[in-house]
Structure 1
Amino acid sequence: MIKFFRKIRKRLLTENKFSKYLIYAIGEIILVVIGILIALQVNNWNIERKSELKVNELSNNLLQELRGLKRLMDNQLQAVEYQQNLIQYVTNNNKIQMDTVFRLSKFDSFQVDPLNFAFSYIVYLNPRGDLYNSAINEGTLALLESEDIVSNLNTAYTMSEKRWAEHVDAENLINTRIQTYISNAYKDIFNAAEFVDQKGAWDKTTTHKVLQNIHADGELKYLLSAKLQILRFKYASLKKRNYRKVEELIDYFESKQK
């Protein structure tokens, strides 16, 4: 092709047809420019295509990770809800029914010792954000081209863990006060008690004696009421803000797949 154009240029010059040669030269330049523009367009299309593939891959992977985070939050919220219900039950009733107690301290087929569940059990939140953290470090979140989505992702992963940790700190403090109090006020009961398994569950008689006294024990009732408030804040913080963000993000990334 280049040889063909060279022959045309040579023939026009030898025939002294300068005006025609000039027109031809301009035409050749235009063709070269068009070729360059086409090459640039193809290159840009390839770049955009690769970027789109990366966005789709990132979106799909984030969707899977967010679904896992939602399942984790579902389990943790359920545990906190059951913990609240147990504390409400033992502080509001002067006649404790053990079948109710065990029902309120069992979730996901996992039976928790009622005394530990009320006095010391803490629900932790450890979201697995491997892909999110990797995207942060690599700067690939910018590919999503949506500040709202990036902000929601930060809330879902970072803020949920931070806020939860703040409530856990408060919970640790109140648990320490509760355990200090019951170790003194209920020393005789616990000294005569037995563990029913290696996980530290108290026997049913001991559990019933301690729980039965809570309604009339002003100090312990007060401490448990304070813990109940912390659990309510903990539950509401995750449910109304972070959990909702996770649901919105899942809906968003699912809509991108359609």
Structure 2
Amino acid sequence: MIRDIIPKNLARLHSTEEQLRQKAHSMIAADDRLQLHLAVTEAAMDLADTLRQFNSSDEDLKVAVVLGMRTFNAFAASTRLTLSGYHQNSALILRDVMETVFLLDLFAGDPPLIERWRFADKKARMKDFSPLKVREALDARDGITSKKRFEMYELFSELAGHPNMKSSWMMRPQKDGDAVIGPFMEATSLEAVISEMGRLAVQVGEQLDRFFPTDWGIPSRIAFAKLKQNWINSFYPTAARPDAAT
């Protein structure tokens, strides 16, 4: 039987994760903001899945499709982790989403770059398409000097990506308390991760939409557009858009 195959302590850990998941559900049910973040995330994932279903021989478009699929998997995994109490690990996956959406943005704005990226060897890829080079290219294109893309990437790296003293902050149920081992559920951590997920989902959906053939996936695109506008109106009522880079 499966309970004899899985070590006892791992089975207990999984049981704790499921209990925390139920607690997270209750917290989300009481917070319209968290529900909206998750709704726009689901809509962005649906866009990725809809684009995947478009049959094309265009190798450049296939790159966008695969990158969209990558964000789908990342959002799914990140959601699973934060609802199970692993907020730092969830945020680490969201850093991957950030890198991917920056690359999608670069390709959507300059499609010939996709072919260069497809055929680049490791040396060329690091020279022209490393996360740093992509951020710098986007900042130069958009005339941005504030380095907000870098600041967001650095924040994800320090809190979730690299072992350092700041990374322990996301292992503390209480701000001034001790770090804990294993999963935990706490409102501030859950909200921080899910709100960043929603912000990134808006950007992912915007970029994926730029790769859609004109008459393909209309219902999914309309559904995302409506949720995106609702999200912007709720969280950035006086701003033109919530892009992290502006």
TM-score, normalization: structure 2?
0.28
Looking at secondary structure, tell me which structure has more helix per residue.
1
TM-score, normalization: structure 1?
0.27
